[in-house]
Chains A and B, each alone.
Chain A
Amino acid sequence: QQPVQSPQAVILREGEDAVINCSSSKALYSVHWYRQKHGEAPVFLMILLKGGEQKGHDKISASFNEKKQQSSLYLTASQLSYSGTYFCGTEIWVQGAQKLVFGQGTRLTINP
Chain B
Amino acid sequence: EAGVAQSPRYKIIEKRQSVAFWCNPISGHATLYWYQQILGQGPKLLIQFQNNGVVDDSQLPKDRFSAERLKGVDSTLKIQPAKLEDSAVYLCASSLVWALGRTNEKLFFGSGTQLSVL
User: What residues make up the interface of A, taking CB atoms closer than 8 Å to B?
Assistant: 2, 28-30, 32, 34, 40-44, 47, 49-50, 87, 89, 91, 94-95, 97-105
Contacts and interface: CB of A to CB of B under 8 A. Distances in A.
Main DSSP-derived SS at the A contact region = strand
B100 A47 contact: yes
Contacts of A41: 4, 91, 109-112
A41 B41 CA distance: 13
A34 B33 CA distance: 16
Contacts of B43: 42, 87, 102
A100 B56 CA distance: 11
Contacts of B101: 28-30, 47, 49-50, 91, 98
B66 to A, nearest CB: 19
24 contacts: A28-B101, A30-B101, A32-B100, A32-B107, A41-B111, A42-B91, A44-B106, A44-B108, A47-B100, A47-B104, A87-B42, A87-B43, A89-B107, A91-B101, A94-B58, A97-B56, A98-B55, A99-B45, A99-B56, A100-B33, A101-B45, A102-B44, A103-B42, A104-B41
A25 to B, nearest CB: 16
Nearest to A97: B56
Contact of B102 (A29, A97, A103): A29
A99 B31 CA distance: 11
A49 B100 CA distance: 9
B51 interface: no
Contacts of B112: 41
A91 B100 contact: yes
A87 to B, nearest CB: 5
B104 A97 contact: no
A94 B57 CA distance: 11
